[in-house]
Amino acid sequence: MVARAGLLTAVLMAALTPGVANAQQRPVSLVLTPRQTADPTLLATEARVPGAIDPLTGVRSPMRKDWIGLRTVSPNTPILVMAGHADSQGIAGSGTSGEAVGLLGAAPMMRGITDEHYWNLVLAHAVATLGRERGLRIDFYKPPVRTIVDPDHPGTNWSVGRDHAQADGYAFEIHFDAYGPSGVGSGLIPPLHRPFSRIDESLAQEFGAYPMNFRDRLGAPKRGVAILELGKLEGRLEASLRDPATRQRTIRLLADRVVTALEIGLGRRPTGSTPAQVSSQPAAGRIAPPALGRPASSAGE
């Protein structure tokens, strides 16, 4: 699709806002708390039960997981990642404004789009970029315009994702959930076009799960497109994204968790590290980029 994912990200970042572009030029700094150093009992029980609080992404979906993904897939399964609400800006279903804008009076990250869509775009790009660096067959798709009224128009996320899923690929949208009581929490809403896969299961293990028929089968899942809610756009997660000092690290941590879950679901050996915790403190003295594998090509762009 595009030869260089790093360049793609740089172009998108530059197009979004100068602030994001500048953030991309900051050195990548990560607080790494590798999975193996975390308390396995905590991970196995408290941290992964429905409704548990994740230090980075907040509450996991407390809803019942009434499905299990057992279908194995090829390690070379082509993956398509998309930004939620990419074709519904300015109309119904444009995504959450986030707590900062909706409740606390902050300015939107970018005029004309919801803060959720803004972060969906940033994270979908980061996941595609990091996934390629780790050798996954992963592409990013963005509709040509931000508003397409007909959900079955051939250029919508749903249509392109449906075609990708029908061709034995894995298609999913990145989302952030609503703040406050109308949001549920992080988790995967699995695609419904065929038996649930190991990729579905792996993403659900990492982020939590929604019931298979959540909200009477949403438009994306019934077309074969998974919805991955990374977390409610509120509190510490949103603050970490908005703060230029922690933004790049937060994006990287989230993308790393998604890519690692994809690797596991594909039956590959995870090549990065999935930090179990993120600190709100600067990462001075605890930076260990080599543990993440090859450095991000987008980090200096």
Please state, in angstroms and rounded to a whole number, the distance separating the CA atoms of residues 204 and 88.
26
Cβ nearer to Zn ion, comparing 175 with 247: 175
Q: What are phi and psi of 299, to 5 degrees?
A: -65, -30
Sign of CA dihedral 60, 63, 69, 73: negative
Binding of residue 175 to Zn ion (CB under 5 A):
yes
Cβ nearer to Zn ion, comparing 37 with 147: 147
Closest distance between Zn ion and the C-beta of residue 176, in Å? 6
Closest distance between Zn ion and the C-beta of residue 286, in Å? 33
Q: By CB under 5 A, what part of segment 49-68 binds Zn ion? A: none
Closest distance between Zn ion and the C-beta of residue 274, in Å? 23
Instruction: Tell me, by CB under 5 A, how many residues bind Zn ion.
Output: 3
Span interacting with Zn ion, options 95-103, 107-115, 247-255, 274-282, rule CB under 5 A: 95-103
Cβ nearer to Zn ion, comparing 134 with 175: 175
Beta strands, E only, 39-114: 53-54, 58-59, 79-83
Binding of residue 232 to Zn ion (CB under 5 A):
no
Span interacting with Zn ion, options 18-26, 134-142, 168-176, 245-253, rule CB under 5 A: 168-176
DSSP 5-35: HHHHHHHHHHHH-HHHHHHHHSPP------G
Binding of residue 187 to Zn ion (CB under 5 A):
no
Please give the C-alpha separations between residue 54 and each of 35, 59, 110, 161, 215, in angstroms, as whole numbers: 14, 6, 27, 29, 24
Span interacting with Zn ion, options 3-11, 60-68, 143-151, 172-180, rule CB under 5 A: 172-180
Closest distance between Zn ion and the C-beta of residue 88, in Å? 9
Q: Which of 6, 58, 69, 84 binds Zn ion (CB under 5 A)?
A: 84
Please state, in angstroms and rounded to a whole number, the distance separating the CA atoms of residues 99 and 42.
29
Please state, in angstroms and rounded to a whole number, the distance separating the CA atoms of residues 258 and 127.
7
Please state, in angstroms and rounded to a whole number, the distance separating the CA atoms of residues 134 and 94.
32
Conformation bin of residue 84: beta by default, left when phi > 0, alpha when psi is -120 to 50? beta
Binding of residue 95 to Zn ion (CB under 5 A):
yes
Cα angle 251-257-260, degrees, rounded to a multiple of 5: 130
Closest distance between Zn ion and the C-beta of residue 92, in Å? 12
Binding of residue 185 to Zn ion (CB under 5 A):
no
Binding site for Zn ion (CB under 5 A): 84, 95, 175
